[in-house]
Amino acid sequence: MLTIDDAGFPKLGDRPLKLPPKERAVLALLARRRPGAVSKHEFADAAWQGRLMSDESLARCVSQLRRTLAPFGLTITSVYGTGYRLDEQPAPMRHVSAQETYLHARQMVQQRTPAAVGRAIALLRDLCLSEPQFMPARVALAEALATAVGWGQLATEPAIDEGLRALDQARRHQPAAPGLDAAHGALLDMAWRFDEAALAFELALRQDTQNPDTLMAYARHLLLTGQAQAAVQQLRLARQLSPHTAMLRIFLSRALAQAGQGQLAMAEADAAVAEHPGQLVLFAFALSMRAHVEPSAQLEAAARRLSEGADTPPFAWTVLSFVLARLGRREPALDIIDSVLLCSRTSSGEATLYAAPLAALGEWDRAADLLERAYLERSGMLAMVLRDPAHAAWLGQHAVGQRLLRQVFGAGG
């Protein structure tokens, strides 16, 4: 299954395996040497190109590769006194097309956009039916369901129940499946079962402290539980491990804003846009962050351009209304909010995104009403909305807001 082309790029079947440069070079060396072992000095020469390589940085690189390769019957074994070697195990699936489907779905989940996650869920559901013994597909499905609930795409309780069932099956057949405990923690967070989620993340981090996906899920848990500065630390570590992942920068920007470091939050959001030009979700987030931290008249034109495309994404109206509200443009902002909430099929979770522009306009009772409706429907995304820095100044002073904070997060709020 695994091949390396002349330029050193790996493929699983016919699909290129997207890896950062160091991981790619390490895997190429292991693949070409198999079944023999590769020494640490050889890794330093090939992947670090003469720069200083610590044992920790090599171990971190190998840990990342192990997680990527495990679903495909490949493992990296430590060879005492030498280094590492690449081994093959019995393949968990018989069909190359199924392996490629899994890899493709995982890559879409990591994009964290609603459309990509929705497609990944459909693919993974089919894969769980066609390859019932392939437990990593069930873990990936649980991750995708947790992400979809966080976007307000799916009804919370059925999605969480489906995800927990998938993880229960994976745990019975493959207790050490990579990412299982982190996916469990992410689902429990969406169900507001934060104490149980903390235990799941403790297990996940005990097994692997060098996985950026696990660290990002754990950082989200820390944000939800009001530990923004700790989340910043975890996300900075994750960014070192995976420096070009767009959503890591977005999560870090959000964490910095929640920790009260607005200028740094803007810098992270702008860096995400610069590294990944053309991605509307990133551009929209950066506009919102600037409107929150440092509103200026120039933002309105950019926000309007975002909403004037041939196929305007729904989040564009949220951004535009928030920008207008932060600029004091009351009537245009309310026109957008009223049009969306009265004339479109907006779920209670999606509607909570309009609480921020309403709050910016001083419409605290209307904002609180949107949040309360989401609570009554047990919308999983409500917890993150309640932690939005845009609500920090008013929510704890409002009677409904105080009650929601207690109901979702417990006595400590």
Kindly state whether residue 220 falls inside one of the protein's structural domains. Answer: no
Q: Is the pLDDT of residue 90 over 60?
A: no
Per the DSSP assignment, residues forming a β-bridge with 75 are 87
pLDDT, average across residues 297-310 = 88
Q: How far apart are CA 245 and CA 317, in angstroms?
A: 26
Residue with tokens 């491990």: 241
Beta pairing, strands 15-16 & 2-4: unpaired
Calculate the CA dihedral of residues 146, 252, 194, 128 and round it to 10 degrees. Answer: 20
Q: What is the pLDDT of residue 158?
A: 94
Question: 82 Cβ partners below 8 Å, 6+ apart?
Answer: 37, 38, 39
Range of the domain at 324: 298-413
Evaluate whether residue 249 is within a structural domain: no
Q: Is the dihedral of CA 74, 56, 214, 111 positive or negative?
A: negative
214 contacts 205 by C-beta, under 8 angstroms = yes
Report which residue type is found at 191.
A
Residue found under tokens 């700790």:
230
Based on the fold, state whether residues 56 and 106 are members of the same structural domain: no
Average pLDDT in the 185-207 region?
Answer: 95
Q: Which of 88, 118, 136 is the last residue of a domain?
A: 88
CB 273 within 8 A of CB 286: yes
Q: Say which amino acid occupies 300.
A: E
- The pTM (predicted TM-score) of the whole model is 0.83
Write out pLDDT tens, residues 219-237. 999 999 999 999 999 999 8
Asked whether residue 121 falls in the same domain as residue 190, the answer is yes
Q: List pLDDT tens digits, range 338-395.
A: 999 987 677 888 899 999 999 999 999 999 999 999 999 999 999 999 999 999 999 9
pLDDT classification of 73: cutoffs 50, 70, 90: confident
| Lowest pLDDT segment from 48-62, 139-153, 263-277, 297-311 | 48-62
Identify the CATH number of the domain in which residue 132 sits. 1.25.40.10
The whole-angstrom separation of Cα 260 and Cα 324 is: 22
Does the pLDDT at position 93 exceed 50? no
- Claim to verify: residue 330 and residue 394 sit in the same structural domain: yes
How confident is the model at residue 290, as a pLDDT? 97
Say whether pLDDT at 164 is over 50: yes
Q: What is the pLDDT of residue 113?
A: 74
Q: How confident is the model at residue 94 (pLDDT cuts 50, 70, 90)?
A: very low
Average pLDDT over residues 29-34: 87
Same domain, 70 and 144: no
Q: What is the DSSP annotation of 111-137?
A: H--HHHHHHHHHHHHHHHHH-TT-HHH
